[in-house]
Amino acid sequence: MINWSPEQPIVSIHNVHKSFGPLEVLKGVSMDIMKGEVICIIGPSGSGKSTLIRCINALNDIQGGSITLEGQEVHDEKLDKLELRKKVGMVFQQYNLFPHKTVLENVMMAPIKVLKESKVEAQKRALELIKKVRLDGKENSYPGELSGGQQQRVAIARSLAMRPDVMLFDEVTAALDPETVKEVLITIQDLAAEGMTCILVTHEMAFAREVADHIYFTDRGVIVEHGSPKEFFDNASDPRTKEFLSQVL
Amino acid sequence: MSSFEEFFIQLAVDFPRWNFIWLYDDLQADRILSGLWVTVKLSLACVSLSVVIGVVGAMLQGSNSSRVRALVQGYIQFFRNTPPLVQLLFFYFALGQFTPTEVGPDGWTEQPLITNVGWAIIALSLFAGAFNVEIFRAGIEAIPYSTREAAESLGMSQRQTFFYVTLPLSLRVSIPALNNNLVNLVKTTTQAYAIAVPELLYESVSVWNDYPSAQNPTMLLLFLAYLTLVGILVFCMNSWEKSMRIPGYGH
């Protein structure tokens, strides 16, 4: 039996090592995330940010260390990965919607197939979620008929339909036009305000500063520095962080 | 006798090589029609079964077990790289010896449980199925891995991901190639002639063996019949392709 209470970290990452062949991408990363927190992971390309959050829902395996979700070891071989993924929502850079399904069907599919919800129940909730991401009226459109920002909001609704405890966002605005970035960020901000635990990999510094409870800066597979947004942006101490911030701010 | 029938009887007298016998002789008409009906049933059975084999095979090719993948690969190599006529003869004459028999309706003859029609369906479906596996695999490989990953991150199992996401998307990619293979399959049903399946070619040959004067018209009929059958198949496949078109996707 797993002993976990909400006062303990909902996600606990401890000394995680991950390699792709000879290339070590994560070299001992640790962080604790409390329920309801918003965490932003920033850092240069290739620093292992995306790999790290993909390890949290076991899309990537790890070679060392541990990741627990609500006290459960994620990389336990006996663990049913599908059970784990019900608790963790994930939104990707390229949206990855199901192009042959309408917006409504995209949102309804997993609750019906995975959670075995009734069609009526799933549809009711899907319509609420579509409204929540401000896409009412687009229920019967196909992803190919929507803008990038709209597709990304459908992807968020699709993840939320599984009632996850934690949401992972993997550079979700990186493929968007500048004018549609905002609508996606507002959607995430709404979620955060409702108390959803969110882990974001992002390059949106202004957003991270405003919304994050905690910021982690990664470079070459290690966490170089972390702290509250104020500490991080105003008093960064590590030269690598300073250099990065001087380039992006 | 109607004037239509009289016309063709007279035509056969005036031009002895052009005896359209099945237009005025009910017995010959019945042979052609029953042959046509067997061809239609044979085609429908083989088309459906070979598509099922293709889908299942393509799914098994994505299996985690290397033994299963090797088995599918072996099947493809064998059935794709040997002539369908040899396969038919092998199934009927070689394997046919080992299948159980039952007592026929007359109460005393032993009849094989799997008839020649049964073997034709099995052999031709396996033959075309081997191609279909490769066709569906190509379609599956055209679907970005990230789309499957999205399904899996929603908690969908490998099987659910295959049937609800990968397969429906890959079908759209596969239809043109599938179309070609099924057209070939319908034409290949004529090879069941070799194991005496009473399909259209078999019945046609019987007619012109009995009435050599009917040879030319019957060959003409054969061509027309296959053009029509394949035409119907292609029409259905094209309508299917159109009905699956998704707004804003792939165009």
Whether residue B147 and residue A98 make contact (CB cut-off 8 A), yes or no, is yes
CA distance A139 to chain B (A): 14
Residue B23 lies in a domain: no
**Interface ipTM > 0.95:** no
Verify whether the Cβ–Cβ distance A113 to B172 is below 8 Å: no
Sketch the domain layout of chain A as residue ranges: 11-248
Residues in chain A closer than 8 A to B249 (CB atoms): 99-100, 142-144
According to the model, what pLDDT value does residue A1 have? 56
Residue B145 forms contact with A (CB below 8 Å): no
Predicted local confidence at residue A10, as pLDDT: 94
Average pLDDT, chain A: 92
Report pLDDT for A248: 79
d(CA B166, CA B159): 10
Which residues 10-29 of A have a C-beta within 8 angstroms of B? none
pLDDT at B100: 81
Domain assignment of residue B11, yes or no: no
Q: Is residue A249 pLDDT above 80, yes or no?
A: no
Number of structural domains, chain B? 1
Comparing A89-98, A175-184, B137-146, the range with the smallest average pLDDT is: A175-184
Specify the CATH number for the domain of residue B79: 1.10.3720.10
Complete DSSP assignment for B98-138 = TS-EEE-TTSS-EEESS-HHHHHHHHHHHHHHHHHHHHHHH
pLDDT digits (tens, 9 = 90+) for B129-183: 999 999 999 999 999 999 999 999 999 999 999 999 999 999 999 999 999 999 9
Whether residue B146 and residue A114 make contact (CB cut-off 8 A), yes or no, is no
d(CA A76, CA A72): 8
A62-92, pLDDT tens digit by residue? Answer: 999 999 999 889 988 888 888 899 999 999 9
- For A85, name the nearest residue in chain B, comparing CA atoms only: B155
| Inside any domain, residue B159 | yes
Cα gap A135→A156, rounded to integer Å = 11
Give contacts of B246 with chain A, Cβ < 8 Å.
Answer: 99-100, 142, 144
Asked whether residue B51 is assigned to any structural domain, the reply reads yes
pLDDT of residue B248: 80
Residue A41: name the closest of A175, A176, A203 by CA: A203
Residue position matching structure tokens 């968007």: A176
- What is the average per-residue pLDDT within B65-72? 96
* pLDDT tens string B100-125: 888 777 778 777 778 899 999 999 99
* Closest residue, chain B, to A159 (C-alpha): B154
H or E stretch covering A149: helix A148-160
The structure's pTM equals 0.85
- List pLDDT tens digits, range B22-64: 999 999 999 999 999 999 999 999 999 999 999 999 999 988 8
Closest CA to B76 of B112, B34, B126: B126
> Which residues in chain A are contacts of B244 at CB distance < 8 A?
100
Query: What is A11-248's CATH topology?
Result: Rossmann fold (3.40.50)
- Across the range B84-105, mean pLDDT stands at 88
Contact of A51 with chain B, judged by CB distance below 8 Å, is answered with no
Sign of the dihedral through C-alpha B119, B125, B128, B129: negative
Largest Cα separation within chain A, whole Å, is: 56
Determine whether the interchain pair A110/B154 forms a contact, defined as Cβ–Cβ distance below 8 Å.
Answer: yes
Domain housing B158 = 30-243
* Nearest chain A alpha carbon to B246: A100
Q: Helices (DSSP H) in chain B: which residue ranges?
A: 3-14, 26-61, 66-80, 84-89, 116-141, 145-153, 158-161, 167-188, 200-210, 215-243
**Model confidence pLDDT, tens digit, residues B192-224:** 999 999 999 999 999 999 999 999 999 999 999
CB pairs under 8 A between A and B: 78
